[in-house]
Amino acid sequence: MGDVLAFPSRPQPDHVEPEPLWREAVGQELRDARRTAERTLSDVAGNAGVSTQYLSEVERGLKEPSSEILGAVAGALGLRLVDLTTRVSRRLSAGTISGPVCLAA
């Protein structure tokens, strides 16, 4: 049998809240942008070339969309992908996301 490398876990304070998932932050930002523009899920999904169900799942943080899908949805909302990622980064930095969040590898 080979040696197993063990990495010591870093102690975490009990009061530290886990960070939200990137997909949840992206979803909230897309939903906010859509609602601010007073557009329906169906309208934005159609313009982005995705199903209404899929866009709903993205907005709720249930799906991990590709950069192509994010670009299409952002474009349907009149945003560039860089605009979306900047907004999400600001949201995460400000701590204005509800619920836990971490980046998935």
What was the pLDDT predicted at 83? 93
Q: What is the pLDDT of residues 18-72, one digit of tens each?
A: 777 899 999 999 999 999 999 999 999 999 999 999 999 999 999 999 999 999 9
Residue 41 maps to which CATH number?
Answer: 1.10.260.40
Residue count of the chain: 105
Rounded to whole angstroms, the Cα distance separating 68 from 84 reads 13
In a domain, 66, yes or no: yes
In a domain, 67, yes or no: yes
Domain that holds residue 67: 22-94
Q: Is 99 a residue whose pLDDT tops 50?
A: no
Tokens at 64, concatenated: 């991990």
Determine how many CB atoms are found less than 10 A away from the CB of residue 104. 7
What was the pLDDT predicted at 67? 93
Confidence of residue 5 (pLDDT cuts 50, 70, 90): low
- Using DSSP, state whether 20 is helix, strand or coil: strand
Tokens at 77, concatenated: 């909302």
Domain count along the chain: 1
In a domain, 74, yes or no: yes
